[in-house]
Structures are given as C-alpha cells and as structure tokens.
Structure 1
Amino acid sequence: MNRLNHRLENVFPERRLFLRSDNETRYILLKPVTQLIGIVGSTAVVAWSIIATSILIMDNIGAGNFREQAKRDQAFYLERLNALADERDIRAAEALASQEQFNTALSQISVMQTQLLETQERRRELEIGMEAFQETLRRVSGEREDARDKLQELNASLEGETETGQNPLSAARDLETTVDYLAGALSETAGERDTIVADAQAALIAADEMAAELKILEDRNNEIFRTLEEAMTVSVEPLDKMFRKAGLSTDNLLKQVRRGYSGQGGPLAPLSFSTRGEIDPSTERANSIIDKLDELNLYRIAAEKAPFTMPVKNNYRFTSGFGPRWGRMHNGTDFAAPVGTPIYAPADGVVTFAGWSSGYGRLVKIKHDFGIETRYAHQSRIRVKVGQRVSRGDRIGDIGNSGRSTGPHLHYEIRVGGRPINPMIYIKAGQNVF
C-alpha cells in the first residue's frame, strides 16, 4: 500500500483536510490511494446517473411513440369497424327492402291469379253461351227450312184442290191464313236470328277484349316474375358464396337443414293444370320462385347455425392470428379488449363445456350444426351452463385474463370435425351478408 501511495504521489500528492472548531483544530490525511478511490467512485456515480437518465429519457420517448402508434391503430380499427357496421346496416336494409318487395309482388301475383281465374271462368261461360247460341241458330234455321217445306206443300195442295174443283174462295181463305201464319213464324225466326247474330258478334268482341286483357295480364305477370327472379338471384347468390368461401358444401348443407325442417303446409298451392291437362307456364314460374324462396329460407336457417359473425361487438384490437407462433401452432384468433367486455355466440348451438381448462383458463365450448364447434378461452366470467341452448347474439361470457395469458383478451377457435381452422375464413365470408 505504501509503495502504491509512493507511485501515486506525483499525480495525487498527499493532502490534509483541516476541521476547525472553537477549542481545537483537527485534520484528516488524504493519501494518494484514498484520493484515487474517491475520484473513481465519484466518476462512477456521475456516469451511472448519466446512463440512467438517458435510459429513462429513451424509454419515455419510446413509450410515447408506442402510445401514439396504439392510438393510431385504435382509431384505424374503430374507423374500419364503423365502416363495416354501416355496410352491414345497408345490407340488412337492402335485404328487408327486397323481402318487402317480394311480399308485395307475391300479393300482386295472388290477386292477378284470382283475376286470371275469373277471366278464364268468364271466357268458358261465353264459350258455352256461344255454343248455345249456335245451337239455337241451327235449330231456328231448321225450323225455317221446315216452314218453307210446309209452305211449298200447302201451295201444291192448293193447286191440287183448285184443279179438283174445290171452292176457290174457301181455298183462298185457307191459303191466306196459312201464309199469315208462315209469315209470322218467319218474322219471329228472323228476329231470333238477328238477336243471335248480334249476341254472337258481342261475344266475339268480348272474347277479343278478354284476349287483350289476358295479354296485358300476361305481360305484367312476366315483368313481375322477372323482378322476383332477379330478387331471388340477388338474395341467394351472396349466401351461396358465403358458404362456399367457408368451405361448406351447399348441397349437403341444404339437405341437412331440409331434413331438420321437413314439415309441410301453409298457403303455397301445388301445380295447377288447365282443362286440357297442360301445365300453366305462369304456375311453373311461380313454383320456381317458391322453390328459390324455400332455398333462401334454408340458407337463412343455415346461416343462423354457422359462426359467420364476430364474437366481440365492442371495441377490440386484433393481436394474434391463426398459424404458427413462437414455434408452436396457434389454433385460434385473439381479440384484445378490457376485462368484462361481452362475448356473444356467433351462431345457434348447444354448450358442451363451461369451466376451467388448463392453459385456456375459463373456457366455453359450443357445438353447432354441420360438425362445427367454437371455443372461447381466458374468460373472466362464464354466463352459460353445459347443455344450455344458445342463439346467435346471446351473451355467453366476459373477456378476461385467466389461464396462460399475457393480458385480457378472447382466444376464439373454430373446429370442423375436430380439426381447427382459421376463424377469419368464416368472419370474412359473412362480412358482406351480416
């Protein structure tokens, strides 16, 4: 130590620190080594203070940037959610308007069918009347011919009696009476004939007017049918596209829904046939529209039973998607939101599990139709029980931070036949419909 002090004397000469009081004076001897230790310690403290201050400043700057970025992301997602909500409302309004138009058109078709049946009945009555008029005309014509034959016979008889010497005056009177009778009969027959001809002409005119009315009605029916067919196409195609995007077979799906809803009844009439045994084309088109309406109804039922809507409706932040994450497979999609944010069932189904599961925390499983199961993990509160039936839009729990979780969020899974698939496939498929 003395040798070290001796070496450091040139740089740090020995110093005395005097301490004076009222009665005496003392001093502290500061050797070179002590001075070196003090300087090194003071330098270390100053350096540590500078480094710590820099770290705090950089951390505050970085935190501020992160908060600004988070605010920008939140604003962007809120704007996107508002746009999606507006688009959903527009689609819903269009669907309601199409349904109202269809109901109105269906009522008009019903009224037109009634008018068409009444017109056809009137036409059949006129045809029967014309046949009766023609039969009466033929009968009157025959009676007129018989009267002519009788007149000829009477003339011949009169001539014969005159030749045989009968009284001419008596024969003339008989002939005059017969002629008057025949003239009256012929006049009556001519009047009936004129009436029948006039009635026949009126019937023909009425038939032509009815044919023109039927043509107008047929054109109106065709226009209504075209409108309804276009409305059915516009209504069915988005649903069909939605199910196909989700990877579901629409044929098998509709068959399965139809088996579950196989009841029949209601005001829909079967195919009607004409008196000649032919199918009415308008009835065929109406039944085709009814089939499309039935298909649309089946799609609507299926859409209620498949998870095409979001399980979170309040403000949220998309934090993690489906796929590999940190060397492991992430089988769902994460939506971050404050604790207590409501979780809603995206489709009709039955609760098969509601409790604690390792890693998942508080977990709810819902079994839907078509072999689909949904899972909702890390909840703070479960609001359903096992065996409970839920409908699309029912609240099933609250977002939390239970289980293996780094913050409050919903871990949402969709499994088909037990195999996990990306939930965003269903969510994106239903964006243009719901």
Structure 2
Amino acid sequence: MRSRLTQRIHAKLEKHLPEKRLFLRSDTETRFIRLKSETQLVAWIGSIAVVAWTIIATAILLMDSIGAGNFRAQAQRDQMIYEQRLNALSAERDARAAEAVAAQERFSSALAQISIMQSELLNTEDQRRELETGLDVVQETLRDVMHEREAAEDQIAALSATDGGQTAEAISEEAGGTVDLLASALAQTAAERDQIAEDARFALDHAAETELELRLLQEKNDEIFRQLEEAMLVSVEPLDKMFRNAGLNPESLLSAVRRGYSGSGGPLAPIAFSTKGGGPDPDAGRANAILDRMDRINLYRIAAERAPFDIPVKANFRFTSGFGQRWGRLHAGTDFAGPIGTPIYATADGVVTSAGWSSGYGRLIKIQHEFGIETRYAHLNSMRVSVGQRVSRGQRIGDMGNSGRSTGPHLHYEVRVGGTPVNPMTYIRAGQDVF
C-alpha cells in the first residue's frame, strides 16, 4: 500500500518536474548527475524559503530602522522642548529674583524713611511739650505781673494822694513796658506752638501715606515671592524625580556634591532683614528658602553632569539587545547597532580607568564616575582616549565597531554601581524626562 502511494506521488511529480540529467563532460570521459523529481521539489521549496526569509528579514530591518529613527527624532524634539522650558523658567526665575531684590531695596528704603519720620515726630512732640510747659510758665508769670500791676496801681493811687502825679506816671510807664514785653513773648510762644502742632499733623498724614505705600509694597513682594516659589518647585521636582527614578538617593548625592564644593564662598549667603531686635522676619525666611532651592538646583546640575543620564550614541541607531537574561546568561548592558565608525560619547563626567583589548569585549573603554558608578563601552573600532584622562559628558571617546565576540557592528554599553551591573536604560530614560 505504501509503495503504491509512493508511486502515485512520484508519477504526479514526474508530470510537473520530470527527471533531468546534468552532464559533466571532460576530455576523457562524460559523467552525469540525475536530478529526480523529489530532489527538484526539495530544491524549489528551499529556494522559495530562502527568498521569503530574505524578504521578511529585509522588511523587519527597514521597519526597525524607521522606528528607531522616529524614536530618536521624537526624543530629540522632547529634549529641545524641555530645554526651552528650562531656559524660560531660568529666565523667569532670574527676573523674579531681580524684582525681589529691587522690591527689598524699596522696602528697606521705606523702612528707613518711616524710622526717620518717627524720629522727627517724637522730636516734634517733645518740642511741643516743652513749649506748652514754657507757655504755662509765661501765663503764670503774666498772672503774677497782672497782680503786681494791680498792686502797683493801688500804690500809685495812694502816692498820688500824697506825693503828686509825677511818681505815679513813672511807675505806670515801667509796668506798661513790662506787660508789653510779656504779651509779645506770649504771642511768639503761641505762634511756635501752632507751628509745631501743624508740623505734627503733617508728619502724621505723611506717615499714613508711607504706611499705605509700605502695605502695597508688601503685597507686591508677596506676589513676587509666590511666583519665585512656584518656579523653584517646578524646577526642583523633575530633577528630584530623575535621580529617584535612577535608583539614586538625592539627599546622599547632594551631600556628596556639597562636600566636594565646600571651598571659599560656599553656598548662597542667607538674607537677613533688620527688625531692630524684633522676631524673625517672614520675608527673610521666604527669601532664604528660595535661595536654598536655587542652591539645590545648582547642586542637582553638578550631580547630573557626574551621573550617566545621557545616551552614548547620538546618531541613528537600532536597539538590538536589552539588559537581562539572554541564552541562559546575564546580558549586563544594552546594545546599540549602527554603522562602523559611528561616534561614541561619554555619558557623564569621569576618569578613564581602562582603554584597551579585553577578550570578548574587544576594544573596551571603562570610565569611573562619581557616586561609585562605572560605564563600559565595548566592541569599539577605535578609541580616542587614554587611561587616566578626564572626560566630560558628551565628549567623543571612540567609534562603533565589531571587535571581540560580536555578530555585527554595535556598541555594548554597561552601567555598573558598586561593581554590580544595572539596566542602563533606567538612567537614559530618567535623563530624557529632564534634558
């Protein structure tokens, strides 16, 4: 039964693929190779499979290349938008800081004017009290003089009866001169009292106007402080989130940066407003809080330059393998495929600790960064740095290649923390959310 089925299949194949012979002739003899129908069928199927696989593989490569280009372009657009946003926030922060300094100067000037006005008002009040006291003394003296005048008139009347009119007239003229002198002094004292009272009313009115201006200035200061606080909050939160997403402790990083930048000058000096022995000034507290956040942003910027938040390949590339288990072994990095000679850049500031051949890695560069972080760049075609050289983030350190144990031109990129490999994409994605 099986032989009959085989014969039927062979007969059908003979109709479409008849047996062929391939002759090989030489000078002395002629040989041939017989191509059966089954052999021809297998050859056709193999050829069709190879052509189909080639078409599918080419389509996959094209789609991956297009997708990688779109991803890179979108990442660059997002980075440009965020940089523009940071620049706008920085400009607004500087403008608000300048307004705050100008408002504080106006506030201090107003306080000085109020202090002067209060001093003048106190001096005017003292002068008024002295003049009132002097006026009371003059009035008392005038009353005494009036009594003496009445007594003198009585004496004049008595003397007129005895001694005649000449002595009385002399005494009357002397008393009249004394009264005129006292009346003139009294009028002058009253005029000075009225002038002091007028000056006091003017000082009170001017003080009320100054207090109104001071209140308006305080409200403007509150608005400026509020906008500065909001700008600081918007600037600090993404940076704090970037470090936390990368698995780093922001407080520990900032403490390490402070220790490295603790020379002369130090952080921003706190603002102190004079309160003349009073309690803490709330404006000084808010201003110092803003200065602390500005100092925190500066420390974040320094720390970000020293942690590998950048991407090592900036030209067109394709992700070919990620971090994790591969064929039963840990693939300790991320692979970026591209043409040979594609520039490779340092992802953070650091020092080159190794630059040479390393078995399966091929040409390998190791860079030691701050906070116990190390990055590795493997399978390079050429290296542009040497051991001990200090590099900066974005500096070109080599060219993509196919050295070592590699199936094609690509960069094998690793990030190690304390010697333990971690997923590089954690740092790259965290940096793309900010830079």
Common fold by TM > 0.5: yes
Partners in 1 of 2:80 and 2:122 — Cα distance?
62
Aligned to 1:11: none
Partners in 2 of 1:169 and 1:193 — Cα distance?
36
Aligned to 2:182: 182
Partners in 1 of 2:119 and 2:365 — Cα distance?
74
Q: Is 2:413 the partner of 1:422?
A: no
Provide the secondary structure at the position in 1 that maps to 2:314: coil
Partners in 1 of 2:315 and 2:35 — Cα distance?
55
Q: What residue identity is the alignment partner of 1:432?
A: D
Aligned to 2:109: 118
Q: Is 2:58 the partner of 1:56?
A: no
Aligned to 1:308: 309
Aligned to 1:279: 280
Q: Is the 8 A contact 1:273 1:279 kept in 2?
A: no
RMSD of the alignment, in Å?
1.9
Aligned to 2:381: 380
Q: Is the 8 A contact 1:351 1:389 kept in 2?
A: yes
Displacement of 1:269 after TM fit? Answer: 5.0
Displacement of 1:279 after TM fit? Answer: 2.4
Displacement of 1:170 after TM fit? Answer: 3.1
Displacement of 1:234 after TM fit? Answer: 0.8
Aligned to 1:158: 149
Q: How many residues align?
A: 395
Aligned to 2:253: 253
> Where do 1:323-342 residues align within 5 Å?
323-342=324-343
Q: Deviations over 1:127-184 (max 9, x none)?
A: 1111111111111111111111111111121222233335443343233323322222
Please, which moves more after superposition, 60-69 or 423-432?
Answer: 60-69
Partners in 1 of 2:146 and 2:170 — Cα distance?
14
Provide the secondary structure at the position in 2 that maps to 1:430: helix
Aligned to 2:233: 233
Aligned to 1:25: none
Partners in 2 of 1:372 and 1:355 — Cα distance?
20
Q: Is 2:91 the partner of 1:100?
A: yes
Q: Is the 8 A contact 1:378 1:403 kept in 2?
A: yes
Q: Is the 8 A contact 1:346 1:393 kept in 2?
A: yes
Q: What residue identity is the alignment partner of 1:176?
A: G
Q: Deviations over 1:324-352 (max 9, x none)?
A: 11111111111111100011111100000
Displacement of 1:268 after TM fit? Answer: 4.1
- Flag the 1:399–1:358 CA change in 2: closer, same or farther, 3 A: same
Q: Is the 8 A contact 1:158 1:171 kept in 2?
A: no
> Where do 1:3-402 residues align within 5 Å?
42-44=34-36, 47-164=38-155, 165=158, 167-265=167-265, 268=269, 270-402=271-403
Partners in 2 of 1:401 and 1:155 — Cα distance?
124
Displacement of 1:119 after TM fit? Answer: 1.1
- Flag the 1:202–1:265 CA change in 2: closer, same or farther, 3 A: farther
Partners in 1 of 2:221 and 2:137 — Cα distance?
53
Q: What residue identity is the alignment partner of 1:263?
A: G
Partners in 1 of 2:110 and 2:264 — Cα distance?
31
- Flag the 1:380–1:43 CA change in 2: closer, same or farther, 3 A: closer
Structure 1 portions without partners, runs of 5+: 1-39
Partners in 1 of 2:39 and 2:168 — Cα distance?
167
Aligned to 1:6: none
Q: Deviations over 1:191-236 (max 9, x none)?
A: 2222212211111111111111111111111111111111111111
- TM-score (normalised: structure 2): 0.87
Provide the secondary structure at the position in 2 that maps to 1:373: strand
Q: What residue identity is the alignment partner of 1:361?
A: G
Partners in 1 of 2:290 and 2:331 — Cα distance?
45
Displacement of 1:47 after TM fit? Answer: 4.7
Aligned to 2:164: none
Provide the secondary structure at the position in 1 that maps to 2:263: coil
Provide the secondary structure at the position in 1 that maps to 2:360: coil
Displacement of 1:250 after TM fit? Answer: 1.3
Displacement of 1:42 after TM fit? Answer: 4.1
Q: Is the 8 A contact 2:360 2:405 kept in 1?
A: yes
Q: Is the 8 A contact 2:270 2:291 kept in 1?
A: no
Structure 2 portions without partners, runs of 5+: 1-31, 160-166
Aligned to 1:4: none
Aligned to 1:14: none
Q: What residue identity is the alignment partner of 2:324?
A: G
Q: Is the 8 A contact 1:312 1:344 kept in 2?
A: yes
